[in-house]
Amino acid sequence: MATFLGLTQIGVSWPNLFPVVYVVKTIATALLLAICWPAFTRISWHGWRLGIIVGVAGVIQWVGMEKLLLFGWPHYPRLHAAVVDPFNDIENPVVRGVFLTFRWLGPTLVVPFMEELFWRDYLWRTLIAPNDFKLARIGEWDAKAFWIVPLLFASVHIQWITALVWALMIGLLLLKTKSLGACVIAHGVTNFLLGAYVLWTHDWYFW
């Protein structure tokens, strides 16, 4: 997570490097996940069907809610980030193709594992059992975890109000299924469909 967020900040600070940095951070995150995998919590895929349903609902919520927010409150307070239009900002078609591939598949296949293992596993359980997060059960109810995790999740997303509501949905999914796998699937489905929406509409604000 630290590697991903650090490289994300580099890409935001130097927009001309954004495509290259995005590819690098996706590869770096995938490698770190693979290397550290034996130390991570074992993922149960129980509740995967509900995860798919929540993932589909999540993309509807994300796009719909953000558009409603922008319609009623177009300048709501949020961090500024340059919108990258790959078809205008990346002249080389090969570089553009590589970037688009990583930009779509990274959030679909890599980010869900990284984020769910951090937010809904490590951080959630650490808020319950600070001395040893493993003393808390996966998906154990705790008011602090239920609210603090989505708030922190939202803090690293530009569309933070929409992200907060989405994270609360995933928190409810975790409580219902007690399954990190269901959350990974929901996260991946939302990101995959959001990527499909952006590529279809060229509404780059959502990327």
Please check whether residue 113 is in contact with residue 33, taking contact to mean a CB–CB distance below 8 angstroms. Answer: yes
Return per-residue pLDDT of the chain as tens, 207 residues.
999 999 998 988 888 888 999 999 999 999 999 999 999 999 999 999 999 999 999 999 999 999 999 999 999 999 887 788 999 999 999 999 999 999 999 999 999 999 999 999 999 999 999 999 999 999 999 999 999 999 999 999 999 999 999 999 999 999 999 999 999 999 999 999 999 999 999 999 998
- Give the closest residue to 157 by CA, choosing from 14, 3, 5: 5
Q: What is the pTM of this model?
A: 0.95
- 130 three-class SS: coil
Q: How many domains does the structure of the chain reveal?
A: 1
193-203 in b/e form (b: 16+ CB < 10 A) is: bbbebbeeeee
Compute CA distances 82 → 65, 93, 187, 206, 207, whole Å.
21, 21, 24, 12, 10
Domain range enclosing 11: 2-206
33-63 in b/e form (b: 16+ CB < 10 A) is: eeeeeeeeeebeeebeebbeebbebbbebbb
* Cα separation, 6 vs 132, whole angstroms: 26
Q: Give me the phi and psi of 140, to 5 degrees please.
A: -70, 135
Sign of the alpha-carbon torsion through 116, 53, 146, 105: positive
